[in-house]
Structure 1
Amino acid sequence: MPLITRKQILPILKNNIICQRVCVSQFSEKSSDKDYQYLQFSKIPTYHFQKSLPRLPIPKLSATCDRYLAAQRPLLIDEGFRKTEFNVKRFCASTGQQLQKYLQDYDKANKHTSYISKMWFDMYLRDRQPLPLNYNPIIVLHNYLNPDMNNQLVKASNLIVSSLRFYKSLEANILQPEVFHLNPKKSDTALFRNICSKLPQAVSWHGAYMFNAYPLDMSQYSSLFKSTRIPEIDKDRFYSSQNSTHITVQHKGHFYVVKVLSDTNEILPADVILTRLKFILNDNVDEAEFSIGPLTTLNRDKWATIRHELVGAGNESKIKLIDSALFNVCLDSEEVEGDLIKTTRQFLHADSNNRWFDKSFSLIITKDGYAGVNFEHAWGDGVAIFRFMQEIHKDSNEKPQVNIDTKTVHDKNNEICRLELNLSDNLKNEIQKAKTDYKKLCSTLDVNYMTFDGIGKNICKKAKVSPDAVMQLSFQVAYHKLTGKFVPTYESCSTAAFKHGRTETIRPCTMATKDMTLALNLQKSKTSLQEQRQLLEKCSKYHSQLTKEAAMGQGFDRHLFALKHFATKKNLECNIFHDPEYNMMNHNILSTSTLNSPAIMAGGFGPVVKDGLGVGYMILDDACGAIVTNYLPTANGKGFTEALNASFQDILKVLQYKS
C-alpha cells in the first residue's frame, strides 16, 4: 500500500481546515436531550476511514502452498505427507497458476470489496445446517456490582436504551470509528482526532497510519440492526429493513412488537420503555403452546418450506414485523444462578421456545438478570458484536437511565402488541416436531468449563512468550494427553484491518507444538526444564508469526477456499482439493476462539464437527479458563478439560523456570 508523507498531508490539512461533515458539526453543542439520544459524538465520522482502507491482499501461490504443507506436516505420517506434498507441488506448478489468475482478475474487477467477502458470505447462506449450535455464537456480560441493577426489568430497559443510543450514533455517523492503536498514549489523542477528521476520506487511512494507528473495517456494523437471515431453498437471503422504529420482545414464547423510537426517530423516554417491558412481563398469558421460535432450529431448506406456508396462512405482515425489527429481545423465565454451564446452555441453545435464531442478534436477559447475546454469523464476525456488547455494558453501567425505583408511566399511546399467529394443524405439528428434535439434539451436547490460576498475561510477559501461544499449546498438550493424537485445529483471526475483511485461520498445531507436546507427555524424564523452556519459546515465536501472517491476510485457508471456488466454477480438476488430507485439514476437531474484555463473563459456541470440541477461552492477568462444548458420545469434553488442567500445571512449571 503506497503511503503519503507528512509534507504531502500538510497542504491537504490547510485546504480542509474548516471542512467538517454535517453529521459531526450539528452535534457540536450537546443538549441534555442529545446526550440521551446518542451514545457518542465522535469528531471523526464513523465511516471516515472506510474509503481509504487497504485491500485484502491475495497471497502468492507458492507461499500459500508452503504454509499449507507446513500445517499438514504435524498431522501426517511420512508416506501421507509425501503424497500430499506431491499433489501440492503439481498444483502450484500447473492448475494453481490458472486459478490464481482467475482470482486476481476477479479481485481487480471488484476493487470496492475484498476477494473473500462475497464467496464467504455465500458459504454461510448456502449451508443447510440449522443455525443454533452449528453457527450462532454467544457473548455473556458480567453482572453489575449493584444487585438492584441486575433486576430483569431494570437491566433489560437499560440495555435496550443503550443499544438504541449505539444505533442512533451509528446511523448519524458519529459513533467512534474502530481504530487499533499500537501506542494509545501517542495516538488516541485529541491531536489524532483533530487531524484525521480534517483529512479527506480518500487519504484518511494514511493519516492514521502516520500516528501508528490502524483503522478497522466497519462495513459489518450496518447489518447489526434492522436485519435478519431469511431461509430460502438452496441459499438463504439476508434482509435489511430501510426504516424501523420497533423491536420485538419474546416472553413465554410469545412475540411482542414494541415501539421504541418516535415517528421522528427519537428514542422514547426510558420510563416509557420500562413501562412497556413491565406490561409484557406482567401479561397474564400462559406459555405459548405453539411458539414459532423452534422453527428457526430446523434445517434451512425445511424451514424455508414451512416459512412459506406460515407466511401464506395470513401471517405475512406479522412475520415482516419480526424481520424488520431493530433487534430482538428475549425476556426469559429461567434463572441461571451464575452457574457457568447453565448460563452457557441458556444463551447457546435454551429450549428454543423463546428464541429467534435468524435475527442478526437477540439480546437475552434471564429472570435473574444475566444478560448476553446469541447472534447469527453470516452477516459478520466477532469484531462488530464484541464492540457493541462492550459499549452497551459500559453505557448501561455508568449511565443507567432507569433504576429499581423508576416508576411506570401512563402509556397513553400503548404502542405495543402481542402477535397472534394463524397456525394450521400442519404448522402446529411441524412446530412440535421441531421442538422434539431440537430437544434431542441439545441433550447430546455436553458443556464443561475449567479455570486455572497462575497462568495469565503477567507470567507470560515475564517469560517473554505470547499468552495466546501458551493457551494454544495447552490445547495441543491436553488433546494429546487424552487421545494420543494431533488433530486439525482452528483459531479464528480477524482481517478487519482490510476493506471488507472477514477472518483468516491460524493453524496452531505446528511442528513446534508437536515437539513440545511430546516433550511434556512422553519424554518428560528425558528433557530438562531448560530444554522445555527453549521449546516453549520456539512455539511462541512461531505462533506469533502465524498470527501476524493471518491478521495481514497471509494465511492459506481463505486463499485455498477462493481457489477451490474458482476450480468448481470453471470445472477444473485439482488433485489438491480431492486429496483426502485436504478434507481432513478442514475437519476441525479443535475449534477455538477467544474474547478478552472486562465486560465479558463468557463466550462460547458449539463444536463445528460431530467428533470435535468447541473451545471458547479467556486469558486474564493471572488466570485463564475455557468453556468446552462437544457432542456425546463422539467427543469427550469432560476428559479434555481434565487433561487441560494437567497441561496447565506442566506448562506453569516451564514458565516459572529461571535459568
Structure 2
Amino acid sequence: MKKYQEDLTQKLKKLPLSNLDTTLSHILEWSKPVLTLEEFQNFKNVVEKFSINEGPKLQNELQNFMNQSEGSWLSKFWLEGYLSGRGPVQSETNFALVINPYYHEKIEKVEVKMGMIIYQLTKIYKSFVEGTFPLEQTKSGQYIDMSFYANFFKSIRLPDEDMDHFYRGEAGTVNNFILIVKNGHYFKLYVTDETGSLISLKQLVANIQTILAIKLEEMQKDLPIHYLSAIDRKESSALYTELMKKSKNRENFETLADSLFVVSFNEFSDEGKADRIKNMLLHPENQFFSKTMQLLVTKNGSVGFNFEHSAIDGVPTLTILDEVIQAISQDSEGKLEVEVEAEKATNLFSKLEWEIPEELIGKMNLASRTAALEVEKFSMTHHVFNQFGKEAIKKAGVSPDAFFHIALVMAQYEVTQNFKSIYEPVAMRAYYQGRTESARPMSVEKRSFVEAFFAENRTPNTRELEELFKVAALAHGERIALCQSGKGVERHLFGLKKMAEMKTDKGINSDYFFLSEGMKAIQSDFISTTGIPYDILESFSFAPVNQEGFGLYYGLLADRIVLDISSRQENERQSKELLKALCNNLVRLSELTEAKGK
C-alpha cells in the first residue's frame, strides 16, 4: 500500500488552511438565505466578536498543528468525528448500494454470483498490496489521493464507551480470507493461499455451494453475534467487552476484524425496490454493520453493499465497485456456471464457534429486538426521473449539478414554505488524505431566483427569471470550485473548533460562536445530499442526518436521474411530497432553460 500512501505524497498537494477573515466572510454570506434579518444581524455580531477575540488565537493554533502534521491536518479530526457518534451506525454513518440487476441477472446461480464478486474484490485488494493498481489521475493529468483505499479491507469500527476505534489489519497477500454469514453463523473462507496466489474462482464457488447447502439444523444453534453492531455504541461496547472475556470469542472477533470483508447471505424481502433499498441499509439479519465493507446477496439473487462510512468516502467506493461489477458483467451469459458444475471443493472454509455466557443471552435478545425496531423508524422511497438526464442539461449550457440543486431549493420551498440548510459533499482528492468539504448549496442567489419564480401575482417575465437562474447556477459552480480548491468554509471552522476543544486550559471559550443559532442553522443538514452518478447503481441509500429532515441521493446519468429519499417514518408523507415537487421543478426548469430530453 506504500505506493498509494507515503509515495503519493510527493505527487499531491497538502490540504491548505484558509485565511480566517475570508472564511468568516463566506460563512456570513452562506448564512443569509437560512436566517431572518434579525437572526442574521445577531449572527453578524457574533462573527465580528469571534474575528477579533478567539478566532485569531485558534487560527494560530491550527496553523501550528498543520505545520507539524505530515499528512492532512483534517484527516484525524474528521475520522474522530465519525467515531464519536453514539447512535446505531446503520442509521448514523452507513450507506448502502443496490447493484442494478442488469449487470448480474443473467448469472442465475447465487453461489456463482457471490464467487465472482468475491474473486474480483480480492483481486483488487491484491493489486493494491502489490502496487499494480494504476495511480488515478484527473482528465488534466493531475494525480488524486488514493490513501484511503487501504481502509476498505481488513478493517472494522470497534465499539468503545466514549469514542470508537478504527482498526485496519496489516496488508499482505498470503492466506487472506473473508467471512460468509448465513443464518447467524460465520464461515471463514480463504481467498488467497500460502503463496499469495488467488484461490481459483471455481474453488471459491464450490466452497460457497457447500456452505449454502448446510442446513441450519445440522449446525450448533448460535445466537447471532452481529446484533451487537446494530445498537447504540455504548451498549455495543458493553456487550463486546463481556464477550471478549472468552478466549474463543476473542479469537473470532480478531478473525472478523482481519477478514478482507464480510459476505452476508440474506433471506429478507427484496422483491420490490423499496424493500431492497431499506433492508440492505438497515436490516440486521446477517449484517455486521461496523465492518467497513459488506457484500450482500439475497436468496433471490439481489446484490448490494453496506459500508461503514468512518474511514472511507463515496467516490473511491464507487471506483472499486464499478471495476468489480463491470468485470462480472462481462460473463453475464453465465458461461462459467457450466464449468463449475463438475468442480469438487477443496475444503477452504471453517465455521466459527462462539461462546455466549448465560447471563448475556437476555441482553443479546434485547439487542436483536432493538435492531429490528431501528428498521421501522425510517422510510425509503426510490424513483427514476426519465424525462431527461445530464446530457440534455449540458446541451442547454447549464451545469447539471447546479440545475439539480436549484430544482431542489424550489421543491423545498414549495413543500415547507421555507429555506433550510442543504448539505452537499465535495471531494477534495486533489490533496493528500483529502476527504470531503461541504458546499452548502443554499445560497442568496438561489433564494432570489426561487422567490421570484413563486412570487404571488407575478407578471411572467421569462427573461428576468432566466437571468436570475444563470446567476444562481454560476454562484453554485463558484462555491463548488472554492471547496475543490481546499478553501471551503466548514472544514476550516471544524478545525478551529477542534483547537478550541484542545485549548480549554488556555481560557479560550468560543462556544458563543460555534454553538450560536447562526451556526446551528447553517449546519442543520435539513436535506443531506450526495450525487455520485454510476450506471451500475440501482440505488444509493443513507438515513437522514437531521431527524426532521431528509437524506437524498441523486444520480445524474446521461438520460435519467436516479433519486432515493429517506426520512424518519413520521415524515414519510412530506418526503414523498418533496420528491414529487423535485420532479415537477426539474420539468419547470427544463422549460425555462430548454433542457429537453426524450
How does the TM-score come out when normalised to structure 2?
Answer: 0.93
Contact 1:533 1:655 in 2 (8 A): yes
Are 1:428 and 2:347 counterparts? Answer: no
Question: What SS does structure 1 have at the residue aligned with 2:336?
Answer: coil
Query: Match of 1:215?
Result: 143
1:162 to 120, 125, 128: 120
Contact 2:543 2:567 in 1 (8 A): yes
Contact 2:144 2:429 in 1 (8 A): yes
Question: What SS does structure 2 have at the residue aligned with 1:213?
Answer: coil
Are 1:487 and 2:420 counterparts? Answer: yes
Are 1:628 and 2:565 counterparts? Answer: yes
**Percent identity (aligned):** 24
Cα distance, 1:429–1:438 mapped onto 2, change above 3 Å = same
Query: Match of 1:389?
Result: 321
Aligned mates of 1:496, 1:451 — CA distance in 2: 29
Query: Match of 1:253?
Result: 184
Superposition pairs for residues 76-155 of structure 1, below 5 Å? 76-110=35-69, 112-144=70-102, 147-155=105-113
Query: Match of 2:400?
Result: 467
Per-residue CA deviations over 1:153-206 (Å, capped at 9, x if unaligned) read 11111000101110111110010112111xxxxxxxxxxxxxxxxxxxxxxxxx
Superposition pairs for residues 333-344 of structure 1, below 5 Å? 333-334=267-268, 336-337=270-271, 339-344=272-277
Question: What SS does structure 2 have at the residue aligned with 1:157?
Answer: helix
Contact 1:295 1:434 in 2 (8 A): yes
Query: Match of 1:656?
Result: 594
Q: After alignment, is 365-374 or 552-561 more displaced?
A: 365-374
Query: Match of 1:611?
Result: 548
Per-residue CA deviations over 1:592-640 (Å, capped at 9, x if unaligned) read 0011122222212110121110001111223223100000215621221
Cα distance, 1:524–1:279 mapped onto 2, change above 3 Å = farther
Question: What SS does structure 1 have at the residue aligned with 2:305?
Answer: strand
Are 1:326 and 2:285 counterparts? Answer: no
Aligned mates of 1:340, 1:561 — CA distance in 2: 37
Cα distance, 1:45–1:488 mapped onto 2, change above 3 Å = closer
Per-residue CA deviations over 1:375-420 (Å, capped at 9, x if unaligned) read 11111211321111011111222268972212253334x1312222
2:246 to 313, 326, 344: 313
Cα distance, 1:408–1:222 mapped onto 2, change above 3 Å = farther
Per-residue CA deviations over 1:538-589 (Å, capped at 9, x if unaligned) read 1110000011111111110000011011112112122321312212322211
Cα distance, 1:523–1:174 mapped onto 2, change above 3 Å = farther
Q: After alignment, is 557-566 or 515-524 more displaced?
A: 515-524
Question: What SS does structure 1 have at the residue aligned with 2:479?
Answer: helix
Question: What SS does structure 2 have at the residue aligned with 1:652?
Answer: helix
2:24 to 48, 61, 65: 65
Aligned mates of 2:520, 2:37 — CA distance in 1: 18
Q: CA deviation at 1:361?
A: 0.4
Superposition pairs for residues 369-408 of structure 1, below 5 Å? 369-398=301-330, 403-405=336-338, 406-408=340-342
Cα distance, 1:85–1:609 mapped onto 2, change above 3 Å = same
2:291 to 346, 356, 359: 359
Query: Match of 1:503?
Result: 436
Question: What SS does structure 2 have at the residue aligned with 1:404?
Answer: helix
Q: CA deviation at 1:150?
A: 4.7
Paired positions, count: 583
Aligned mates of 1:534, 1:657 — CA distance in 2: 16
Aligned mates of 1:68, 1:520 — CA distance in 2: 26
Query: Match of 1:637?
Result: 575
Q: CA deviation at 1:146?
A: 6.6
Contact 1:274 1:408 in 2 (8 A): no
Q: CA deviation at 1:505?
A: 0.1
Contact 1:590 1:615 in 2 (8 A): yes
Q: CA deviation at 1:642?
A: 1.8
Aligned mates of 2:515, 2:540 — CA distance in 1: 35
Contact 2:293 2:307 in 1 (8 A): yes
Q: After alignment, is 281-290 or 252-261 more displaced?
A: 281-290
Aligned mates of 1:235, 1:543 — CA distance in 2: 36
Q: CA deviation at 1:531?
A: 2.0
Q: CA deviation at 1:289?
A: 6.3
Q: CA deviation at 1:519?
A: 2.4
Question: What SS does structure 2 have at the residue aligned with 1:627?
Answer: strand
Contact 1:271 1:409 in 2 (8 A): yes
Per-residue CA deviations over 1:345-388 (Å, capped at 9, x if unaligned) read 121112x1210011110011122222221111111211321111
Contact 2:428 2:437 in 1 (8 A): yes
Are 1:53 and 2:12 counterparts? Answer: yes
How does the TM-score come out when normalised to structure 1?
Answer: 0.85
Aligned mates of 2:255, 2:270 — CA distance in 1: 30
Q: After alignment, is 524-533 or 296-305 more displaced?
A: 524-533
Per-residue CA deviations over 1:436-490 (Å, capped at 9, x if unaligned) read 1222222120111233233421222122111001111111111111110111110
Residue identity opposite 2:215 in structure 1: N
Contact 2:282 2:374 in 1 (8 A): no
Contact 1:493 1:551 in 2 (8 A): yes
Aligned mates of 1:340, 1:529 — CA distance in 2: 39
1:228 to 156, 159, 170: 156
Cα distance, 1:150–1:101 mapped onto 2, change above 3 Å = farther
Aligned mates of 1:133, 1:402 — CA distance in 2: 39
Residue identity opposite 1:259 in structure 2: Y
Contact 1:45 1:175 in 2 (8 A): no
Contact 1:448 1:629 in 2 (8 A): yes
Residue identity opposite 1:283 in structure 2: I
Per-residue CA deviations over 1:519-548 (Å, capped at 9, x if unaligned) read 233347434222222222111100000111
Are 1:532 and 2:465 counterparts? Answer: yes
Cα distance, 1:307–1:408 mapped onto 2, change above 3 Å = farther
1:348 to 281, 285, 291: 281
Question: What SS does structure 1 have at the residue aligned with 2:480?
Answer: helix
Are 1:409 and 2:343 counterparts? Answer: yes
Are 1:573 and 2:501 counterparts? Answer: no
Residue identity opposite 2:387 in structure 1: G
Contact 2:531 2:555 in 1 (8 A): yes
Question: What SS does structure 2 have at the residue aligned with 1:215?
Answer: coil
Residue identity opposite 1:143 in structure 2: P
Cα distance, 1:540–1:408 mapped onto 2, change above 3 Å = farther
**Where in structure 1 are there 5+ consecutive unaligned residues?**
1-20, 24-43, 182-211
Are 1:282 and 2:282 counterparts? Answer: no
Contact 2:392 2:595 in 1 (8 A): no
Aligned mates of 2:444, 2:100 — CA distance in 1: 38
Residue identity opposite 1:505 in structure 2: S
Aligned mates of 1:524, 1:377 — CA distance in 2: 47
Q: CA RMSD in A?
A: 2.2
Contact 1:292 1:353 in 2 (8 A): no
Contact 1:335 1:368 in 2 (8 A): no
Aligned mates of 1:454, 1:510 — CA distance in 2: 27
Aligned mates of 2:60, 2:397 — CA distance in 1: 42
